Structure formats: C-alpha cells, structure tokens
Amino acid sequence: RRESSASPTRSPVMSAILRASRAAVTRVAARQVAGRQFASPAAIKLGKILAQEAQHEKEQYEEPPIVKQFLKDAPWKFEEKTGEVNLSLTREVAEKTKVVVEWQLSSPTDMPEDDEEAGPAVPFTITVTKPSGVSAVFYCSTERGDSHRYVIGNVSCYATEEEANNQAAYTGPEFEDLDDKLQESFDEYLAELGLEEKMCDFIDATAADKEQREYARWLANLQKFAL
C-alpha cells in the first residue's frame, strides 16, 4: 500500500503557536542586530570622550630616559607584567645571595600637596635571601634630597622561608629607634647592594611611568567596552 506523501495537517491551535514562536524569534533577532548597530547616545558620548583621552595620553607619553640608562649600566634584571601593578629588580651577589627590590606603580594623586614638583614618595622593599634560607627585608621609601634619597622604616629578619611567610611573624623595631651606629651600618650595607641615588630615581620614574601606561591600557579596554 502506498503511503501518502502529503504533510500532516496541523490543528488551528498548533499553527497559531508556531506563528507566535516565529514572530517572537524574529523580534529578538531584530533587537540583537539593532543593539549591535545602534549605540545609545550616552554610549556614543562615552566612546568619543574615551577616544579623546586616549589620544591625549598617546601624544603626551614619553618613556623616562633613566629607564634604559639605569638598566644599561646596572647589574639588575627588571621585571614587570602588563596589566599588573608590581615592579621588581633582581640580582645575585656574593655567595649566591639573592637580592630583590620590589615596588608598585604610583598614582599622581599620591603627590604631596605642599610640593607638586617633588612627586610622590614610593614605598619599596629590599629582600636579601641567603642560600641557607635566612633572609632580611628592608622596608623603605624614596624621598627627595640631594644625597640621601631613601628612608628605612624597619628591618625584618627571618630564619626560614616559612617564618618569612608567616603573617604573625615579628617585623622588627622602628628603624629610627635603633642606635645611630646600627642605622649607619645598615645604610652602608644597602649601599653595597646597590641602593643609591640612581636606583631611587629609577624606582620613582618607573612607578610613575607604569601608572601612565596602565592608565592608557585601561582607556583602550574601556573603548572596546563602549563599542
């Protein structure tokens, strides 16, 4: 027996449901296309302002000359990653002792109000780790001056890596409470490691430069978001 090739007859109710579904799908697709093609007035305004600011930053940006000069003459390895706020210098000294200087980008809003030309002080740490695992951490900050370009807040010392990672570990006394001769000895020790005026200039310059570059990247990402 031959089977009929004609399509099965739909009920009026089923036909109405199918027509309504197709219409709903068409409306959703139309809204999606319209959303991609036509931005709101506020989004258009935001995009224009972001583009103007990004262009301004691009025209104003110039890498500080000290960045290449310092790295050319100094035995340090400089590290920083796009999208992150951390910066570091690393070197190895006698007897495989590792020295790591770490700091972060600094915002122009950190600049002291009473000295606009000076720029913000940049906190940094110097971690010195011996092969045995014992380490010392110097908590410092740059400061403006003709000769002494940094101050030490305190000095921590840890017998093991585990102790160094312990948030409850003793961090040492205030540096200014130490005997003057001990303070002087610490300064001389850091000078031997390479902490000098040029390094402080490098820390200040790269902290500000990193903030400017990350701000430009932030603007670029926002432009993509506003499209």
Q: How confident is the model at residue 2, as a pLDDT?
A: 42
Q: Give the number of other Cβ atoms within 10 Å of residue 50's Cβ.
A: 19
- Which residue type does 11 have? S
Looking at residue 20, its pLDDT comes to 57
Report, as ranges of residue numbers, the positions in the chain whose pLDDT lies below 50.
1-7, 25, 32-35
pLDDT at 53: 94
Q: What's the rounded Cα separation, in Å, for the pair 83 and 205?
A: 18
CA proximity to 53, closest of 225, 165, 217: 217
Quick: pLDDT tens for 160-181: 999 999 999 999 999 999 999 9
Q: Which residues pair with 127 in a beta bridge?
A: 100, 137
DSSP string, 26-68: HHHHHHHHHHHH---HHHHHHHHHHHHHHHHHHHH----HHHH
The neighbour count for residue 31, using CB atoms within 10 Å, is 10
* C-beta of residue 207 within 8 angstroms of C-beta of residue 89: no
pTM to 2 decimal places: 0.78
Per-residue pLDDT tens for 57-97?
Answer: 999 999 999 999 999 988 999 999 999 999 999 999 988 99
